[in-house]
């Protein structure tokens, strides 16, 4: 499967090379931030498994932030940081302590897996300090260093495989 990549990725590949990361020990690197929506439990499980596989491949902790595009009861709890429509202000900005904690950290790479382009995930991407920001078909491409435009026939698994390849290109692993 081929993906169309932006010039930003080619530029980063040339600028960063493997030598840029070789002096930094993996245990001292900032974690990876992974943003994704979860429309259902299957999608949630797929993305959380992807976070675990990122950790296995790169040796760097992957920290997920999940957007639940529905209103959740305040008593609902998950084992990962999340927010829902109930946590959005009248202007559409996320307002939640999980988000505040998430955005205060520095990250090595931010990965936005939101193919539906929820504005709140783009807003969080903008607020996060990361060396690299990567997204799939974003509405706001200028927020990201690397933009992936998958083919119409691409599956979610093939897109995730391409993401791992790009991370390897960035010499994270």
8-39 pLDDT, tens digit each: 444 445 544 443 444 344 545 789 999 998 87
73-123 pLDDT, tens digit each: 666 667 778 888 888 888 878 888 888 888 999 998 999 998 888 889 999
Cα distances (angstroms) measured from residue 128 to each of 16, 46, 89, 140, 161: 21, 24, 19, 15, 24
| pLDDT surpasses 60 at 173 | no
Cα distances (angstroms) measured from residue 41 to each of 37, 47, 68, 109, 161: 11, 10, 10, 25, 21
CA distance 2 to 162: 9
Q: Which residues span the domain enclosing 87?
A: 4-169
pTM: 0.76
Residue 18: CATH number of its domain: 3.40.50
Q: Count of domains in the chain? A: 1
């Amino acid at each position: 499967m081929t993906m169309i990549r932006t010039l930003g990725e080619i530029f980063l590949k040339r600028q960063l090379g493997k030598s840029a990361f070789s002096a930094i020990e993996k245990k001292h690197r900032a974690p990876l931030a992974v943003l994704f929506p979860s429309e259902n439990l299957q999608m949630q499980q797929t993305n959380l498994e992807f976070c675990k596989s990122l950790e296995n491949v790169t040796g760097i902790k992957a920290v997920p932030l999940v957007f639940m595009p529905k209103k959740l009861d305040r008593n609902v709890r998950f084992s990962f940081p999340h927010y829902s429509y109930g946590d959005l202000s009248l202007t559409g900005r996320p307002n939640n302590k999980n988000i505040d904690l998430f955005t205060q950290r520095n990250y090595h790479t931010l990965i936005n897996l939101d193919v539906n382009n929820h504005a709140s995930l783009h807003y969080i991407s903008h607020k996060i300090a990361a060396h690299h920001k990567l997204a799939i078909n974003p509405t706001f491409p200028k927020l990201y260093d690397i933009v992936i435009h998958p083919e119409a026939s691409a599956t979610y698994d093939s897109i995730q495989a391409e993401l791992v390849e790009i991370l390897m290109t960035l010499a994270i692993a």
